[in-house]
Chains A and B, each alone.
Chain A
C-alpha cells in the first residue's frame, strides 16, 4: 500500500456509499431523554409544592375566618345580653317599683294655660 492510498483509505474510513462526506445542514441541539425526565420531575415537584403552599395558606385563612366567626358570635352574644339587660332594667314594672318612682308625689295643677 502506497502512502497516498493509505491516506485515501483513511479519508474513506467515514464515508459510505451515496452519502455526502460534508454535511451542509444546520445542526439542532436537543435535550436527551434523561434531562427531559429530570426537568419534568423537578417541574412536578415545584407544582406540588405550589399546590401545598396554597392549600396550607387557604386552610390558614380558614382558621382565621373561623376565629372571626367565633369573635362575631361572642360579640353578638354580648350584644344580646346587653339588650336583654337593658330591656329588663327598663321594664315598666321595674321602673314603677324603683325608688325614684316611689318618691314621686302628686301635685295638683296650680293654673291652666290658655
Chain B
C-alpha cells in the first residue's frame, strides 16, 4: 500500500514536469510565431539595414593630353590627396593631438585645437595632404582623427597653357578653359553598387538581388596644341611685353588649313594647380577667346576681301581718295602720314592702311555710297561669311560672342558702319578674327577653330565659300606685297609671309575714345609653298613711340614667325 502511494507521487511529479516543459515549449512557439510571423517585416528590415549597403563607384575624370612633336603627353592628370578631419566628440586631448598633427601637416596648432573643441562632429583641419603625410598620420592612431581620400586635378606643366586648360574647383566642377567647356564629358558618370555585404562590407556574390552599375570613366581629351610651340610662344609673349611697356597680351597660332589652334598664349597667367592663390579672377580668362576688342586696321584685310568677292572692286582697281570722307556729322581720316588725297589702288588700302580706302569699299558695296544696300551686304559678310557676333564653338569656357552693330538700327548708322570697315565700333575676339582671316587666305574655307582633336580626325568646314579661291589667292599676293614694301622687317627669303597691322582706339566706359590709349594688333601668316600658320597678336595698351600695331604687335609676330621657321619644320618654297 505504501509502495503504491510512492509510485503515484512520482507519476504526479513527472506529470508536473511534463506540464512545465510543455508550457515552456508553448511559450517558445508563441514567441517564435510572434517574432517570425507577426514581426517578420520589422526584423527582416532591421537585418537588411545592417547587411544591405549602397556604394557609389566614382568615375575617374578624363585626362588631357597634348602634342609634343609626333607623340602626345599628358598635361592634366588626377592625383589622390587627403583631407584631414576631426570628430571633436572623440578627441580626448585636443592640445596634444593638434601638436602631433601640425608636426606633419605644418598647420597652425591653435587653429587645429580650436576646431577640435567645436561642438559639431566634423571639422576639416587640412586639405590636399599627400600620401606620405597621410601614412604618418595613420601611424599616430589618434582617436577622433580621420582622413578622407579625394581625387584632385593636377597640372604637371605648371603655368603652361593655363588659360586653355582652366581648372577644377573644390566642388569638382570644371571652371574656365577646356575643363569648363568639356566638363560633362571629362567627369564621366559615377556608377553604383547595391549589395548584401558581410560584416567587413564585402559584397556577397551569392545574393541575386545585388545591383552593380559600372561607372562611365571620363573621356580622355587630346588638345591640338603643341607643347613645345606653346612654351615658345608663351616665353616670347612674356619677354616681349616689358619691351613695349605693356602688361597684357595674347598670341594665337592657328593651322590655316584645319582651324586647329597649335598655340594660344596669354599673359599674365597662373598655375591651375594653385588657382586658389590667384587674387584677380581676370587672370583665369582666356583673353584670346573671351575678351573681344575693337581690332583696328587688321579689319581692312576682310573689308577688301569682301569688296573683291562681291566684284565691286578688284586687285587692280584705282580710285580718287580725297584723304577724308564726311559721313553724317563725322569725318573719316587716315592716321598714317602718307594717307593724304591721291589716286589709290586696292593694294594701297592695305599697304598704307587707309581708313578712307576701307570706307570707299563700303561705298562700292552700296553702289557708290554708304546706304542700306551697302550696310546689309557688309553686315552679311561680317555675320555670315566671317561669323562675327557669334561664338565660334571653340572648346573654351566663357567664350564671348563679340558685337556687330545691326545694319538698320540706331543713330549714325553710316558713320558707324564706315568705322566697322577699319575695325572700330565692332567687337571681335582674337580667335574669331584669326578664323575669319584664315578663311580669306586658305582658298575660302572657314574652319571651325578648335583646341580639341576631333573624334573623326577631320576638321569641320563651316563655310567653304567665305570668299572665292581666286580672291583668296589675290589677297595673299596683296598681303605679301605689303610685307615686301612696308613691313620689310617681316620678310624671310624663301617663305611666304603676309600680314597687316592694327592700331585700335580704346573706348571710354561712358562713350567715345581715349586720345592716348591704343591696342596693337597684327594678323598674318607664314608658310613655305602655301600659308601654314596664321598668327594673331594682340598687345594691350603698349607704351611705345609710333603706332601700337607696327611698333608693338608686328615685332612679336616676327619673333613668332622666326620661331616657327626655326623649330617647326616650315619648308621654304621651291
CB contacts under 8 Å to B, within A4-53, are: none
Closest beta carbon of chain A to B56's beta carbon, Å: 15
**Bound Cα distance A83, B154 (Å):** 12
Q: A57 — nearest CB in chain B belongs to which residue? A: B206
Does A62 contact B154, Cβ atoms closer than 8 Å?
Answer: no
B residues 154-184 touching A (CB-CB < 8 Å): 154, 156-160
- Evaluate contact between B73 and A77: CB separation under 8 angstroms: no
Bound complex: CA A65 to CA B193 (Å): 14
Alpha-carbon gap, A77 to B160, bound state (A): 25
Q: List 13 A-B contacts (CB under 8 A).
A: A59-B205, A61-B205, A62-B202, A62-B205, A62-B206, A66-B202, A77-B80, A87-B73, A87-B75, A90-B73, A91-B157, A93-B158, A93-B160
Question: Which residue of the partner chain A has the closest CB to B68?
Answer: A90
Scoring A residues 52 to 68 as 1 if CB is less than 8 Å from chain B, else 0, what string do you get?
00110011011101100
Q: Which of A57-114 contact B (CB under 8 A)?
A: 58-59, 61-63, 65-66, 77, 80-81, 83-84, 87-88, 90-93
- Chain A neighbourhood of B154, CB < 8 A: 84
- Alpha-carbon separation in the docked complex, A93 to B228 (Å): 11
Task: Verify A58–B206 contact, CB threshold 8 A.
Answer: yes
| CA A65 to CA B206, docked complex, whole Å | 12
Q: Is B203 close to A, CB under 8 A?
A: yes
Docked pose: A87 CA to B73 CA in angstroms:
8
B231 proximity list for chain A (CB < 8 A): 92
CB atoms of B77 and A84 under 8 A apart: yes
Q: Report the minimal beta-carbon distance from A109 to chain B, rounded to whole angstroms.
A: 11
A59 touches B206 (CB 8 A): yes
Task: Please give me the residue from chain A that is nearest to B159 by CB atom.
Answer: A93
Chain A CB within 8 A of B125 CB:
no
Contact of A84 with B156 in the complex, beta carbons under 8 Å: yes
The distance in angstroms between the C-alpha atoms of A8 and B227, with both chains bound, is 124
* Contact yes or no, B204 A83, CB < 8 A: no
- Residue B105 lies at the interface, judged by CB distance under 8 Å to chain A: no
CA distance A77 to B203 in the complex (A): 22
Q: A88 to B79: give the CA distance in the assembly, Å.
A: 12
Establish whether residues A91 and B205, one from each chain, have CB atoms under 8 Å apart when the complex forms: no
Min C-beta distance of A21 to chain B, whole Å = 51
Return chain B residues, CB-CB under 8 Å to A91. 156-158, 160
B205: nearest chain-A partner, CB-CB: A62
Q: Which residues of B contact A84 (CB under 8 A)?
A: 77, 79, 154, 156
Residues of A within 8 A of B204 (CB): 59, 62
* Contact across chains for A92 and B227 when beta carbons are under 8 A apart: yes
B202 is contacted by which of A54, A63, A81, A88 (Cβ under 8 Å)? A63
A residues less than 8 Å from B474 (CB atoms): none
Return the CB mask of B197-214 against A: 1 if under 8 Å, else 0.
000001111100000000
Q: Is B405 an interface residue when CB atoms closer than 8 A count as contact?
A: no
CA A87 to CA B156, docked complex, whole Å: 6
Q: Which residues of B contact A (CB under 8 A)?
A: 73-75, 77-80, 154, 156-160, 202-206, 227-228, 231
A59 to B197: give the CA distance in the assembly, Å: 10
Measured CB to CB, the nearest residue on chain B to A95 is: B231
Return chain B residues, CB-CB under 8 Å to A81. Answer: 79
Quote the shortest CB–CB distance from B187 to chain A (angstroms). 17
Residue of A nearest to B77 (CB): A84
- The smallest C-beta distance from A104 to any residue of chain B, in angstroms, reads 15
If A91-B160, A92-B231 are given as contacts, then 8 extra A-B residue pairs at C-beta distance below 8 Å, sorted by A number, are A58-B206, A63-B202, A66-B203, A83-B74, A83-B77, A84-B154, A93-B158, A93-B160
B20 to chain A, nearest CB (A): 30
Contact between A65 and B75 (Cβ–Cβ < 8 Å)? no
* Chain B neighbourhood of A80, CB < 8 A: 77-79
Residues of B contacting A92 in the complex (Cβ-Cβ under 8 angstroms) = 157, 160, 227-228, 231
Residues of B close to A88: CB separation below 8 A: 156
A91–B73 Cα gap in the complex (Å)?
10
**Distance in Å: Cβ of A71 to nearest Cβ of chain B:** 14
Q: Which 6 A-B pairs have the closest CB atoms?
A: A62-B205, A87-B156, A58-B206, A88-B156, A55-B206, A92-B231
CB contacts (< 8 Å) of A62 on chain B: these are: 202-206
Return chain A residues, CB-CB under 8 Å to B79: 80-81, 84
Give the docked Cα–Cα distance between A66 and B231 (Å): 45
Q: Which B-chain residue is minimally distant from A66 (CB atoms)?
A: B202
| A90 nearest CB neighbor, chain B only | B73
Question: In the complex, how many angstroms separate the beta carbon of B57 from the nearest chain A beta carbon?
Answer: 10
Residue in B closest to A85 when the chains form the complex, CB atoms: B156
Q: How far is the CB of A33 from chain B (nearest CB, A)?
A: 26
CA gap between A58 and B198 in the complex, in Å:
13
Residues of the A chain whose Cβ atoms lie less than 8 Å from the Cβ of B80: 77
> Measured between C-beta atoms, what is the minimum distance from A93 to chain B in Å?
5
Q: Which residue of A lies closest to B151 (CB)?
A: A80
Kindly provide the distance from the CB of B493 to the nearest chain A CB, expressed in whole angstroms: 13
A58 to B203, CA, bound (A): 11
The residue on B at minimum CB distance from A54 is B206
A93 to B77, CA, bound (A): 17
Q: A46 vs B180: C-alpha distance in the bound complex, in angstroms?
A: 62
CB distance from A114 to the nearest CB of B (A): 12
Bound CA span A80–B131, Å: 13
Chain A residues near B227 (CB-CB < 8 A): 92
* A residues near B75, Cβ cutoff 8 Å: 87
| B-chain residues with CB within 8 Å of residue A63 when the two chains form the complex | 202
With both beta carbons as reference points, the residue of chain B lying nearest to A62 in the complex is identified as B205
Chain A's nearest CB lies how many Å from the CB of B138?
16
Complex-state Cα separation, A37 to B160, whole angstroms: 82
**C-alpha gap A90/B74 in the complex (Å):** 10
Q: How far is the CA of A87 from the CA of B157 in the complex (A)?
A: 8
Query: Roughly how many angstroms separate A91 CA and B155 CA in the complex, as a whole number?
Result: 10
Query: Which partner residue on chain A sits nearest B203 by CB separation?
Result: A62
Which of B156, B158, B160 is most buried by chain A, counting CB atoms within 10 A of its CB? B156
**Cβ-defined contact, B205 with A65, below 8 A:** yes
Which of A55, A59, A87 is close to B77, meaning CB atoms less than 8 Å apart?
Answer: A87
How many Å lie between the Cα of A63 and that of B157 in the bound state? 41
* Bound Cα distance from A83 to B80, whole angstroms: 13
Q: Is the CB of B203 within 8 A of A87?
A: no
Task: List, in ascending order, chain B residues with CB within 8 A of A87's CB.
Answer: 73-75, 77, 156-157
